[in-house]
Structures are given as structure tokens and as C-alpha cells.
Amino acid sequence: MRYYIADCHFFHEIQLHHMDCRGFDSVEEMNEYMIRQWNEKVRPRDEVVILGDLSWGSAEETNDLLQRLNGILYLIRGNHDRFGSSPKYDSSRFVWIKPYAEIHDNNRKVVLCHYPIMCYNGQYHEHTDHHGETYMLYGHVHDSQDQRLIERFQEITLASRLTYEDGRERSIPSRMINCFCKYSDYKPLSLDEWIECDRERRKNRPFCPEGLKDLYIP
């Protein structure tokens, strides 16, 4: 099984009471909760793609953390992954570390970047059975005003019409999903689980635009 998650920010104290307001009493409590949530979900042979900002800790702290996390790990580098610049950092826990990647997940293309990409490669790929579609998975913006602006952009995109070569007119696809760890209660999720999580989150948001509530419903 392959899972995805973004913006864990292990060791980052500011996330407790500012920005994310995660509500833990200490960094240690937050770290232990996230490790427990991760390992309850991920088995040792599962794959986990981390979409940036894994850890605010030192290289030594992050090395120890990585040994405690289950799974075969891949890292899309985030702007706060400062541990990676230290000579004491051991990168061997990751299969690869990249700023951007494109992979396939159950016949669907997945574009991976820490930063949201509004017009992503493969955006217009679409099939009636919902396989062969392309999804853009990102992090960086957490649950901020920037995320609200992205949702507004998606609403505008979905309301726009495009005439294809076969003469059919359809809305422009926009399958962007923010894999912010707090949305999943700090558990890595599969692509299908993120699709469902994103759909339910949009449904439950006050004043959610109608076009976004059913964005991923076949």
C-alpha cells in the first residue's frame, strides 16, 4: 500500500499554539501522538510519500525520528526541511529525495510537490471510469487563507467550460488535494482515502461552494 502525508512539522513548537493551533501541551506530546498515529496505519513494507516539511528538528533528532516511523519512505523536499543541509543528517532512510515527482498509483497519474501547482502536468487527462486521471497532491499551505484561495481557484476552474476535439463541452478538471496531516488526524492516507477525506472536508465546510462539494464524486 502507498500512503501520502504533508506538513507533519515534527519538533516545530510554533504549530502548537499558532498557525495550526494543534492544541498539544508540548512538542514531545505532539511528536508522540503523530508517531503513534503513523505507526498504527503504516506497516513496515508500506510506502509513504512525505510531501515536505517533515521535521523542524536537528539532523540528529530527525535521524532518530525516522528510525521510529514505519514504512518505506520517500521525501518531496519542503521549505522547512532544514535538517537536510546538515552533514550529520543520514538520508539513507529515504528511497529518494526530490523537489518534484510524477508517479502512478492504480492507473492514475499523481503529481507530487510540496507547493500547490494550479496548472499541473496531465490536468486534462480524464476517463469515464475515473482511472487514468491525474491528481496533484501538495502541502505547504496547511489550513490557511492560501488554502481557501486555492479552493476558490478550483471553483472558478470547474465552472469554466472547454470544448474538446471531439466536440464535447466539459468543465476543466482540477484534482488538487492538500494532504495536510491535520486533515487526516496525522495519519498517512492512500490516494483513495485522500480523495474521500477531501470530499468530506469540503462538504462539511460552512459556505462551501456547491461545485467543490461534489468535486470528486463520480
pLDDT digit string (tens) for 158-171? 899 888 777 788 88
Average pLDDT estimate for 49-58 = 96
Kindly tell me if the per-residue pLDDT of 205 is higher than 70: no
Position 8 scores a pLDDT of: 97
Kindly tell me if the per-residue pLDDT of 29 is higher than 90: yes
Give per-residue pLDDT as tens, 165-200.
777 888 889 999 999 999 999 999 999 999 999 999
Asked if residue 147 belongs to a domain, the reply is no
Query: Is there a contact between 70 and 42 (Cβ–Cβ < 8 Å)?
Result: yes
Q: CATH code at 182?
A: 3.60.21.10
The cell for 86 is 546538515
Q: Which phi-psi region, left, alpha or beta, contains residue 142 (left: φ > 0; alpha: ψ -120 to 50)?
A: left
Give per-residue pLDDT as tens, 71-121.
999 999 999 888 777 778 888 999 999 999 999 999 999 999 999 999 999
Asked if residue 170 belongs to a domain, the reply is no
Asked if residue 151 belongs to a domain, the reply is no
Instruction: Look at residue 217 and give its three-state secondary structure.
Output: coil
Instruction: Look at residue 111 and give its three-state secondary structure.
Output: strand
Asked if residue 216 belongs to a domain, the reply is no
Q: With 0.85 as the threshold, say if the pTM is over it.
A: yes
Domain range enclosing 127: 2-142+175-204
Asked if residue 38 belongs to a domain, the reply is yes
pLDDT tier for residue 214 given thresholds of 50, 70 and 90: low
Count the neighbouring beta carbons within 10 Å of the beta carbon of residue 60: 13
Domain total for the chain? 1
